[in-house]
């Protein structure tokens, strides 16, 4: 694994470029977000998605979550209702994962049984810079141990995934909370997981 310590507020562009190069070659990266470290690949590379399924030790796992660079880009990969658009415009970028009906451009490997996907726009310069440079969304599945516990220490993550991942961008301990997950695939929002982020919007709307 290539391992680089990247500055959180002023990320070195050369390290961003290395991550993009790995992704374009079909590789797997670990990168920081506004919540926890994510394991990712280009969502259009089915071989890379298969590798992440192996890393997560579940060949049938539905990797619902992926990162888009902005709200406008989400509409390419999901069907967005007026209410969903209003909600996401209010809350993004931020530590939320929104479940939306999948568009045809999204590989079916990422659909759940209801043909929905999870989409994030994190408030994090490194993650967004990678996605913008790649030109495609990237998978965002939390770096966890075999027990499914989220890992925060980059050195521990490096030791565990050293032989399975091609590159890691480390920006110190991320003592965050996984994103809140909100299902906007129907007319009424459903909070699937209470995590990071203010959820008071849903009690008001």
CATH class of 2-204: alpha beta
**Which residues face 141 on adjacent strands?**
39
DSSP letter, residue 106: S
**What pTM value is reported for the model?**
0.91
- Tell me whether the omega of the peptide bond preceding residue 181 falls within 30 degrees of 0, making it cis: no
* Number of residues assigned to the chain: 205
- For 141-180, the pLDDT digits (tens) are 999 988 888 999 999 999 999 999 999 999 999 878 899 9
For residue 6, the SS3 value is coil
- For 42-66, the pLDDT digits (tens) are 999 989 998 998 888 765 565 568 9
Give the start-to-end residue ranges of the domains of the chain: 2-204
**148, 133 Cβ separation under 8 angstroms:** no
Q: Which residue has the tokens 């008071």?
A: 200
Q: Rounded to an integer, what distance in angstroms lies between the CA atom of residue 56 and that of residue 142?
A: 10
For residue 176, the SS3 value is coil
3-state secondary structure 170-194: ECCCCCCCCEEEEECCCCCCEEEEC
């Amino acid at each position: 694994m290539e391992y680089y310590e990247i500055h959180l507020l002023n990320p070195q562009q050369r390290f961003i470029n290395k991550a993009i190069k790995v992704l374009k070659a079909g590789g797997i990266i670990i990168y920081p977000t506004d919540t926890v470290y994510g394991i990712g690949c280009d969502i259009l590379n089915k071989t890379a998605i298969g590798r992440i399924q192996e890393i997560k030790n579940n060949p049938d796992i539905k990797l619902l979550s992926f990162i888009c660079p902005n709200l406008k880009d989400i509409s390419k990969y999901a069907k967005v209702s007026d209410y969903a658009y209003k909600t996401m415009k209010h809350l993004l970028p931020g530590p939320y994962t929104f479940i939306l009906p999948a568009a045809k451009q999204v590989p079916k490997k990422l659909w759940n049984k209801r043909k929905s996907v999870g989409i994030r726009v994190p408030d994090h310069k490194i993650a967004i810079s990678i996605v913008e440079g790649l030109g495609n969304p990237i998978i965002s599945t939390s770096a966890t141990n075999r027990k499914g516990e989220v890992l925060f220490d980059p050195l521990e993550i490096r030791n565990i995934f050293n032989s399975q991942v091609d590159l890691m961008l480390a920006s110190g301990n991320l003592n965050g909370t996984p994103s809140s997950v909100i299902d906007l695939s129907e007319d009424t929002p459903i909070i699937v997981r209470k995590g990071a982020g203010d959820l008071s919007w849903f009690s008001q709307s």
